[in-house]
């Protein structure tokens, strides 16, 4: 698993929208400042998050972004996979992979599968409700 700036920004954006769930909208600029990201870059990521069904937007004056569902229903893994693609360390661990002749006897494949499962077990069991709670406890205001 590799987290790029794009993924990092996406997760932080969702976190801040979680902190403001049912409170108020945040504009692209609001979010860009909060998470210290270039606003035009973040804009593209927000479009992507919208396509993924994680957020909604209101256009025009007084517009902005909001979560489209309760933070307790969004996991870190879901968001990360939507933005970054598959989290597996190498693509040969997929069931339908056919590009390797030695796949049946490969001793590495089971290792990568273990690594992938270990990571998934972590990120798929963390919700943004939990993260937001932690963030508040850590002193981050909505």
Two tokens at 115?
Answer: 């690594």
3-state secondary structure of 61: coil
Two tokens at 141?
Answer: 């205001």
From 25-33, 47-55, 59-67, 111-119, span contacting its own copies (CB under 8 A): 111-119
String marking each residue 22-61 x if it binds its own copies according to CB under 8 A? --------------x-------------------------
Q: Which residues ranging from 88 to 117 are in contact with DNA (CB under 7 A)?
A: none
String marking each residue 6-25 x if it binds its own copies according to CB under 8 A? --x--xx--x----------
Tell me the chain's radius of gyration from C-alpha atoms: 18
Among residues 123, 124, 129, 142, the one that binds its own copies under rule CB under 8 A? 123
CB nearer to its own copies: give 57 or 123: 123
| Smallest distance, DNA to C-beta of residue 129, A | 23
Among residues 3, 47, 73, 103, the one that binds its own copies under rule CB under 8 A? 3
Provide the CA 61 distance to its chain's centre, in angstroms.
28
CA distances from 17 to 27, 56, 102, 123, 141 (A): 10, 10, 46, 19, 12
């Amino acid at each position: 698993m590799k987290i790029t700036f794009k993924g990092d920004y996406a997760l932080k954006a969702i976190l801040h929208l979680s902190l403001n769930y049912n409170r108020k909208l945040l504009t692209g600029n609001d979010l860009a400042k909060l998470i210290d990201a270039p606003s035009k870059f973040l804009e593209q990521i927000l479009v992507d998050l919208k396509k993924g069904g994680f957020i909604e937007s209101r256009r025009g004056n007084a517009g902005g972004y909001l979560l489209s569902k309760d933070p307790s229903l969004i996991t870190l893994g879901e968001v990360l996979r939507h933005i970054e693609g598959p989290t597996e360390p190498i693509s040969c661990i997929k069931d339908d992979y056919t590009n390797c002749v030695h796949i049946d006897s490969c001793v590495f494949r089971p290792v990568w599968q273990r690594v992938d499962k270990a990571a998934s077990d972590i990120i798929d069991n963390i919700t943004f409700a939990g993260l937001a709670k932690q963030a508040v406890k850590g002193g981050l205001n909505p």
